[in-house]
Structure formats: C-alpha cells, structure tokens
Structure 1
C-alpha cells in the first residue's frame, strides 16, 4: 500500500496528511468505548499508512480519548503525527455547556497537555463558540498560548463567517473544522468562501454522514442505547426512508466507478480543493483501508455534478442538540463592558 500524501493546511505553515483520522468513536458517543488494544493498533496502522493527522477533543469520553492517544503515541511515534485537540464543549454538573472564558482556555489547554503527555499541541481548536462573550477574548488567550509555545496553531470549529473574520484579526486561524459531506452542504454558501478568502484550511468532520454513506439506513439497526446518533433527526423513521434514496443513488454511482459508496463520498470531498482535509472516523482497520483508498478515486466534472444533485433531497436537520455555526456569532467587542 502506497503511503498517503501530504498537504498544506492553512497559510501558517502547518502540513498534514491528505486525510486525517477522527478518533472520537473509539471512546465516546457512537456506542461504548472500543477495546483499547485494538484502537492503539488502528492508530499505529494509520500512522504507518501515512495518515498522521489525528483528531481528538477533551470532551470525548470525556478525557478518555486523549488518554488513549497518549498511550498510542508513546515513544518516537509522537514526532510522526500532527495532533489536533479541542476545548470549549464540556459537561458541567451533568449538563452540556460551552465555555470560551480565557481562564478556562488556559486550564483546558494545560489539562490536555498533561493528559496527552506532550509539551505542545499542534492544532488547538475552540470546539464550539461561546456566544456569551466576544470571540476576541478567547482568541486573545489562545494567542498567548502560541507565544508561550504550548500550542502551534489555532483552529475553530462550527464558527460563523463573522466569528471567523474577527478571530482571524486577533491571530491567524490555521483551520476551521466543520461538518461537510454529501448531505451536509450548507457551509458552502458562506463559510467555505470565507475560509478561502483568508487562507484558512478546511477540516471536514463526519464526511461520511456520521457513517450513513457506509451502509445506509440499515446502520440504525446496530445503534446501541448510548449511541447519540439515534436521537439525530436524519436517522428518525420519518426521515430515514427518504434519505435511504440518497444512499441508493450513491451506491449506484459507486458501483459504476468500481468503488464503495463511502469511497465515492470521500472522493467527492477530496475533489473540493487542495485546502480540504476530511477526517473520517472508524474503529476498524478494514474500514480505514477503504477510506484511504478513496484518494485514488478520480471523478469527472460531470460525475461531481451528478453526485452533488443528491443533496437537494436530504430530509431532517443536521443535528438535534448542538448549536450550529449559524448561531455562533458572539457579542461585538465594542459592546462589552469590563467592570
């Protein structure tokens, strides 16, 4: 197997593999945690295959996914990877909340460094935007952490265009992470153009529609009671039947191309531009191998257009709980009164 190539992410000097590995499902949200020994083997296999851009967060577990990566990256392996983690989404007294307060930013960063057992985080994202205070406050603290050598590059996740611009004015943003797939394309209207105008890299999470483009509607049969996808609108019975027609069409097109539906969905994203890095998650080496094989699937302009026409028939909201980027504007700095 040839190794996965490299790309520049953003305009600040960061380089990553052409495809990343989302590590969330190894530890949280998509059912119970997976066997640690198997996940470490998968991470090592990914690195050996050239997928060196690993994505985690302090809320995955919480904390257990970062601890898993700590074990997987012991020794010389650490120097071979680009590690991205996140702060700002947390559980407090059993409730989900978002926090971008500067004092919390610093504590969260120090805690992630300790859990990961590293001196510097390659890419540190604000996981969700705190709409209670100006983004300038949060980014100001992240800028200090860059100056102190505790993080190399700053990222945002699920941020609006205006928030991205304001953040970028305080300190250059290297990457914006967003949900982008064949059935989540609203970011193309405003967010993607803003990133490209500013020279910000694009990291696409859930590029397979949270697993939907791997197997279609039948995937819901395997949801466990602690798999939060069972609560998401697009997987509800009233929406799933229509969404299955999208999968069926993708399946038809992929058969013509001699690839799997998931490979076609990933190939479509890889063809969006050399500034886009999808980070599909998986817990199986076979699925991982399929994902990186998508890099060899070539699509014509006509094939791209045919695939894109499917987005018009998706039914159901993208997410049922989290605030979306459309709701992520923060108060203007000029309106903020410091007591």
Structure 2
C-alpha cells in the first residue's frame, strides 16, 4: 500500500538528486507552457510558480532557446533576479524554428553551439548555464563536433554540465567519449517507455542522469483531459500529438481511467501516482512535469514523498500497459528527430 515518507509539512523541501557535479531537487519544473503551446499565459503566475518551486526545493528549471522564441529564457531570468544561487538552469539549443510550430530542422555545428550559449546567457541574464543540452541530434554534424564545442564551453566556465536530448544509444556513447554527459533528457512516463530497453540501462552504466520530460503525458495522465475540445485552438497537442487525435483518444481514455480508479483507491491523484511511479525508477531519474500554476506544482511535488510497494508498482504498470496506448508519441515530422 502507498505510504507517505514524510509529513505534509515537510513537503516544503524535496529530497535531492545528482546531475554530474550538480545537486538538484528530485523533481524539476518544465517551463515550456509558461510562454506558449498550452493556451493563454500569465507571466505573473508563472513567476510565482517558479518562486514556489524554489521554496519547495524544485531547483531544476528546464527551458530552451526556442521556447517562446526566447521569451521563456527571458521570463526565467526575470524570475531569478536575486535568486540565481537557488536554481539550476537547464536550457537547450539546436532547433531551427523560424516561425510557429515545433521547428523545421536542427543545427548543431560548433559555431552554432557557441552562439546559442551566448544568446541564452544574455536572455537569462546570467554568467553561466548550469546545464546545456542539444535538443535533437543533427545528422549533418558529427556528434563529436557538437560534444567538443560543448566541452569547450565547460572549460571556459560558461557551462557546468552538458547533455543530449532524445539521442540514440550509439550517439550517447560517442558524445560521452568526448566529454562526460551529465544529462540525457528524454520523454519517459507510464505511456512512453521506449527508453527502458536500451537507453535507460546505458545511462545508468555511464552515470548519466535521465531528466524525464512529459512525465504526465502532457497532462493526459492526470485524467482531467476528456476531449480535445478542452484544449485551445492553438494548443500544440491538437497538432503534434497523435495520442490526442480523435481516432486514438477513446482508447487512451480507457487506459487513463484505470489509472484514475487506482489512484482513487489509494487516496492520491492520478498525476501523483504517475509521477511517484517514475520517481521509483531509481535515484538517477529526475522528472520535470511542466506547469504554470502554483496549485499544480504543489500537487506534483507531493508525489516525491509517496512510497510505493511492489504491489502498487505492479498494479500501476498493469493499468497503463505499453501495448494499450494508441498513437505515436509525436507526429511523423517530429518522430524523425527521435533517437538518432
């Protein structure tokens, strides 16, 4: 049966994890939705949410240079004025995004690595980045060139840890041979478990921490999304997420309903159960659920204090079995950039 590892009062500070030389809270904060993709935004509430996270020990803030075409980094920079030493800033580069949409390509040559770092430092208003990751692998540039340019930034004191996102096993090994990777950021949740066969074990072997994005299936595993009509017309889940499409949604609702019933029986929310499952993968996994509201952040943070036994874990995995999920995790255009 589920138990809480501490009192409600002690939710104030989360336990910690390691990313290379860095110490971070066991759960981070995905900041993408604070500036776009998920409907109307509210800078004041977003900044208040970041501040609440820091108070709770949610120190890892995840962003990217293309989120909001730079506005996301600028927002985080404003939120961290006078609080820089409380946060671990993780940003990403590489996506070519000239207009709306999720991007049109990838660029990761050494010159672009250097310029991207300088631009992110300027927008954030900081003198170093704690973590800098390549968002997707550029097939036109040897990964050794990209990793070498990132390593040079570490030597120069502009970056503390480097990483990749959504990279394949062979690419991870090659990059790690140039300079140790602190992070692999990749999608990992109850309904996206592809990395468990090869990539997660490889990261464990090499001492690379997995930063799991979309740990709640972009909100779907909370059980609160019942129809795409609940999503704004500009919500990217309507466009880039096949699992929300009309032909897949009914089947996926039956899956999430099982998770909701399981959570109700145990007196927690479905979102907390899904996050707690991921926390139990091991100490080298840091989920980064995205939210722009303090109430959701508090709910998510509580998951780090849930202790699941073997019976709980088995029941959770049976309720959201991988073979029962309908639709790919990205649309066809985006899937071509996955696990290169």
Which TM-score tier does this pair reach, normalised by the shorter chain? over 0.9
**Following the alignment from structure 2 to structure 1, what is the Cα–Cα distance between the partners of residues 174 and 150?**
14
**Following the alignment from structure 1 to structure 2, what is the Cα–Cα distance between the partners of residues 326 and 138?**
17
Are residue 145 (structure 1) and residue 188 (structure 2) matched? no
**Following the alignment from structure 2 to structure 1, what is the Cα–Cα distance between the partners of residues 48 and 262?**
33
**Following the alignment from structure 2 to structure 1, what is the Cα–Cα distance between the partners of residues 221 and 60?**
22
Are residue 296 (structure 1) and residue 305 (structure 2) matched? yes
Select the residue among 253, 261, 277 that pairs with 1:252. 261
**Preserved CA contact (<8 Å) 2:88 2:130:** yes
The one-character-per-residue Cα deviations of 1:233-276 (angstroms, maximum 9, x if unpaired) are 10011111010011110011101111000000000000110111
**TM-score, normalising length: structure 2:** 0.92
Select the residue among 66, 72, 78 that pairs with 2:73. 66
Q: Secondary structure at the match of 2:68?
A: coil
The one-character-per-residue Cα deviations of 1:84-107 (angstroms, maximum 9, x if unpaired) are 000001213776211111100100
Q: Residues 1-339 of structure 1: matches in 2 within 5 Å? A: 1-2=9-10, 3-10=12-19, 12-32=20-40, 34-75=41-82, 77-92=83-98, 96-218=104-226, 220-231=228-239, 232-309=241-318, 310-311=320-321, 312-320=323-331, 321-323=333-335, 327-328=339-340
**Following the alignment from structure 2 to structure 1, what is the Cα–Cα distance between the partners of residues 295 and 138?**
38
**Preserved CA contact (<8 Å) 1:23 1:56:** yes
Structure 2 unaligned spans of 5+:
1-8
Q: Secondary structure at the match of 2:308?
A: coil
Greater mean deviation of Cα atoms: 141-150 or 89-98? 89-98
**Following the alignment from structure 2 to structure 1, what is the Cα–Cα distance between the partners of residues 17 and 242?**
35
1:50 CA displacement:
1.2
Aligned length: 325
1:6 CA displacement:
3.8
Structure 1 unaligned spans of 5+:
329-339
1:219 CA displacement:
5.2
**Following the alignment from structure 2 to structure 1, what is the Cα–Cα distance between the partners of residues 64 and 224?**
27
Structure 1 residues 239, 216: CA separation in 2 closer, same or farther (over 3 Å shift)? farther
Structure 1 residues 267, 219: CA separation in 2 closer, same or farther (over 3 Å shift)? farther
Greater mean deviation of Cα atoms: 36-45 or 317-326? 317-326
**Preserved CA contact (<8 Å) 1:89 1:127:** yes
1:217 CA displacement:
4.1
**Preserved CA contact (<8 Å) 1:216 1:244:** no
1:223 CA displacement:
1.2
**Preserved CA contact (<8 Å) 2:95 2:136:** yes
**Preserved CA contact (<8 Å) 1:4 1:19:** no
Show structure 1 runs of 4+ deviating over 3 A: 92-95, 323-327
The one-character-per-residue Cα deviations of 1:125-158 (angstroms, maximum 9, x if unpaired) are 1011101121000000000000000000001100
**Following the alignment from structure 1 to structure 2, what is the Cα–Cα distance between the partners of residues 306 and 177?**
27
**Following the alignment from structure 2 to structure 1, what is the Cα–Cα distance between the partners of residues 117 and 204?**
28
Superposition RMSD in Å:
1.4
**Following the alignment from structure 2 to structure 1, what is the Cα–Cα distance between the partners of residues 86 and 284?**
21
1:298 CA displacement:
1.7
**TM-score, normalising length: structure 1:** 0.92
